[in-house]
Amino acid sequence: MAGHSAWKNIKHRKAAVDAKRGKIWSKCSRAIIVAARQGGPDPKFNAVLRIAVDAAKAANMPRDTIEKAVKKGAGADDADNFEPVRYEGYAPGGVALIAECLVANVNKTAAEIRTLFDKNGGNLGVPGSVSFSFSQRGVVLVPAGSTTEERLFDVALGAGAEDIEGGEEGWQVTTPATELAKVRDALEAAGIAFDSAEVTFIPANTVEVDGDTAARVAKLVNALEEHDDVQKVHINAEIPDA
């Protein structure tokens, strides 16, 4: 689930990994397969694959499992024919929601996603119905203590970052989606540790929700994240920690 705070986003995903490791690994494998099929099996020349592999490593996915997924994607004839699909709509309280999926059977998945929206007080829309209120950006989270602010600014901005915001937990580096791999590689080359690097959807504005609405939104988000085809869910409201 990705709302306004990228730090809450990564904490949420780490908790999900711990609770549902097998399902998370399955989704990581699917992302690796698609990335390898579309851009080739060498992470040095395939930025999307490199980021997918990094996400799998962050989920403590075994190295041999990662390598098998890369090989499966590289052998396109043998790979499952997944395609990226984005579903958009509204959660309870008018909260805008985007679900990024990798789908083998579009008709089957579309029906299942619609059912999840309907059962959880949401409203599935048409493509573009809410994505206009989000921007696709690369986000790198750099924990406090891994570098100095001056060095981070020099390295990240020099590599093409758009913005850097600091907080108690560290810095959020925002980049154009196309420049994420370049910024990530620059930080790595400079020895600056980071917690995550991913392309995400950032809302232009966020909406406030009360406790009851937040619980209903969280229920829909959790139901979507449980679906095998859903990779990430983005919303334009922050859900308070329980």
71-85, 90-104, 124-138, 204-218: range with lowest mean pLDDT: 71-85
Which domains, and CATH codes, for the chain?
6-74 (1.10.10.200), 83-132+205-235 (3.30.70.980), 133-203 (3.30.70.980)
pLDDT computed for residue 23 by the predictor: 81
Long-range CB contacts for residues 220-225, cutoff 8 Å, separation at least 24: 220/91, 220/92, 220/97, 220/116, 220/117, 220/120, 220/121, 220/122, 221/1, 221/91, 221/97, 223/116, 223/119, 223/120, 224/97, 224/99, 224/113, 224/116, 225/1, 225/16
Q: What are the DSSP calls for 13-64, one per residue?
A: HHHHHHH-HHHHHHHHHHHHHHHHHHH-S-TTT-HHHHHHHHHHHHTT--HH
Separation CA 197–CA 195 (nearest Å): 7
pTM of the full predicted structure? 0.82
- Mean of the pLDDT values across residues 224-233? 94
Res 125: pLDDT: 95
Q: Tell me what pLDDT residue 162 has.
A: 95
What percentage of the chain has pLDDT greater than the value 90? 66
**What would the pLDDT profile of 41-56 be if each residue is shown by its tens digit?**
998 888 889 989 988 8
The torsion angles phi and psi of 134, rounded to 5 degrees, stand at -125, 155
pLDDT 10s digits, 84-116: 999 999 999 999 999 999 999 999 999 999 999
pLDDT for residue 200 is more than 60: yes
Task: Give the integer Cα–Cα distance in Å for 9 and 238.
Answer: 10
**155-198 pLDDT, tens digit each:** 999 999 999 998 888 999 999 999 999 999 999 999 999 988 88
